[in-house]
Amino acid sequence: MINFLLLPILIPLMTGVLLIFFPKHIKWQRWIAGIFSFITIIVSTMLVQKVKTDGIQTLDVSSWDAPFGITLVSDMLSALLVLTTSIVAFACLLFSFRSIGEEREKFYYYPCYSFLIVGVNGAFTTGDIFNLFVFFEVMLMASYALMVLGGTKIQLRETIKYLLVNVISSALFVITVAYLYSVVGTLNMAHISERISEVGQPGIITVIAILFLIVFGLKGAIFPLFFWLPDSYYAPPVPVMALFGALLTKVGVYSIMRTYTLFFYHDTGYTHQILAILAILSIIFGVIGAIAYWDIKKIIIYNIIIAVGAILFGVSAMTPDALTGSVFYLIHDMLIKAALFLLVGVMIAISGTSNLKDISGLIKRYPGLAWTFFISALALAGIPPLSGFVGKLLIIKGGFEAEQYWGAAIVLMSSLLILFSIMKIFINGFWGTPRAYEGEEKVPVKTLMIAPVVLVTISVFYGVGSEVIFPYISQAAETLVNPEIYIEAVLKER
């Protein structure tokens, strides 16, 4: 079936549309959303296998040949990201069932949720720069709705900020695409890359590269464009926050990866140097934030910025090792951030507060929660058998190979401080004298724990079984290192 790579976009889209018809039947909403979300996981696993055996999959939508119509391209990187997205989406959905509350569920929570997945999967799969913009908007509109849904005061305030920032960055995106179109005269990504290599990246293309960095940096929260993220992600309920933290910024990161390896690789001296500096500064500022706060949600939120910095540092080094490391770390980070947000959500559900100073001694009564949190904390910091290790190792190795000694050293040092920030939660929240919290008996801890345990298990396998995973990752990085593969797959006849 030639439309196979479309299914991870089409299935959530159909789910979202179907769920609009009966908003008040919560049970049906949950079942249908859950089942179709699971089918999406199966389909994207099959897609990964198909890309592995048959090479890059392309689909010329509505039968128009490559540069003229919209092309959807599933190379290994996007197939893996689609699979990770589906897994994270399913886990957060499981968590939503027990924690989001009927009031929100009755007002189109699950349709918005499905449309968000459509946007993310579409952004990962598309091979057309304007189509990327459209999928960004699909994702963002759904995220506005999910962020404001419920209508508490803090949500309203933060949604206004989030909306303003994203409307401005989307306008800048359109302007940037307009500049690019007026220079190269095409929107198909492979064709753009070919045209740019024909003219050999003159000054105007470098300007466009920096504009793209600003646009995607605003979406993906790099220094100094991350200012909106800590407050905005603080506002929505936990499963939504986990979904945003795991997926939304990573779409921006993926777009930087794609554009900087496919379009702007001819004159790396300027653009990639700026990317490296900004990535390092993101790590430093993220670390400062993660250490400074005594609020468990804030600590995890600042860890998003650190991870974005580490991944983009790998991209800026542009060596095969560094790119492989970036892909490895990107997928690891999506899984582990979702798991950590959900675990923090369970802690907040039990204790009723996110202030670390008001929580202590949780390990006595909730050992399962404590040890799951401990494992995911070690994975986040990159302790050897776990999933964060291989990615960061390769990023640092690539950094040294590219003679970015300072940057690689800072990535290395940041691990220590990440470990410190996350162990602060573990030591203060789980050790110490147990306290009684109001209404903790009512919290369904066992059912809430299913989703984070699943995610942590997957991430442990991802780390321990990196030998098995590695061929997939290196196939993904191969396309990044060598854009010719991508171009040939899309523009077949030339």
Site of interaction with other proteins (CB under 8 A): 1-3, 6, 10, 13-14, 17-18, 20-21, 59-63
Would you say 450 and 90 are in contact if contact means Cβ atoms under 8 Å apart? no
Would you say 189 and 131 are in contact if contact means Cβ atoms under 8 Å apart? no
Shortest Å distance, C-beta 15 to other proteins: 11
Residue 355: both structure tokens together = 């202030």
Residue 107, CA atoms < 13 Å, CB-side half-sphere: 11
Shortest Å distance, C-beta 22 to other proteins: 10
Shortest Å distance, C-beta 13 to other proteins: 6
Quick one: 113 or 328, whose CB is closer to other proteins? Answer: 113
Would you say 351 and 359 are in contact if contact means Cβ atoms under 8 Å apart? yes
Quick one: 63 or 433, whose CB is closer to other proteins? Answer: 63
Quick one: 23 or 320, whose CB is closer to other proteins? Answer: 23
Quick one: 6 or 417, whose CB is closer to other proteins? Answer: 6
The counts of H helices and E strands in the chain are 22, 2
Residue 120: both structure tokens together = 């993310």
C-alpha–C-alpha distance, residues 217 and 305, integer Å = 11
User: Among candidates 437, 448, 398, which has minimal Cα distance to 92?
Assistant: 448
Shortest Å distance, C-beta 21 to other proteins: 6
Quick one: 16 or 289, whose CB is closer to other proteins? Answer: 16
Quick one: 53 or 62, whose CB is closer to other proteins? Answer: 62
Quick one: 138 or 481, whose CB is closer to other proteins? Answer: 138
Quick one: 53 or 63, whose CB is closer to other proteins? Answer: 63
Residue 88: both structure tokens together = 């994270």
- 84 in the Ramachandran plot: left (φ > 0), alpha (ψ -120 to 50) or beta? alpha
C-alpha–C-alpha distance, residues 268 and 265, integer Å = 6
Would you say 245 and 338 are in contact if contact means Cβ atoms under 8 Å apart? yes
Backbone angles phi, psi at 152, to 5 degrees: -80, 165
Beta-bridge mates of residue 73: 58
Quick one: 20 or 204, whose CB is closer to other proteins? Answer: 20
Q: Is the backbone peptide bond immediately before 236 cis, with ω within 30 degrees of 0?
A: no
Shortest Å distance, C-beta 60 to other proteins: 6
User: Among candidates 429, 436, 393, 430, which has minimal Cα distance to 411?
Assistant: 393
Shortest Å distance, C-beta 3 to other proteins: 5
Residue 474, C-beta contacts closer than 8 angstroms, at least 6 positions apart: 324
Would you say 174 and 180 are in contact if contact means Cβ atoms under 8 Å apart? no
Shortest Å distance, C-beta 29 to other proteins: 14
Shortest Å distance, C-beta 17 to other proteins: 5
Backbone angles phi, psi at 139, to 5 degrees: -60, -45
Shortest Å distance, C-beta 135 to other proteins: 15
Shortest Å distance, C-beta 24 to other proteins: 12
Shortest Å distance, C-beta 61 to other proteins: 5
Beta-bridge mates of residue 126: 72
Residue 74: both structure tokens together = 């599933």
Quick one: 65 or 484, whose CB is closer to other proteins? Answer: 65
User: Among candidates 150, 139, 137, 75, which has minimal Cα distance to 112?
Assistant: 139
Quick one: 16 or 230, whose CB is closer to other proteins? Answer: 16
C-alpha–C-alpha distance, residues 381 and 367, integer Å = 21
End-to-end Cα spacing for the chain? 24
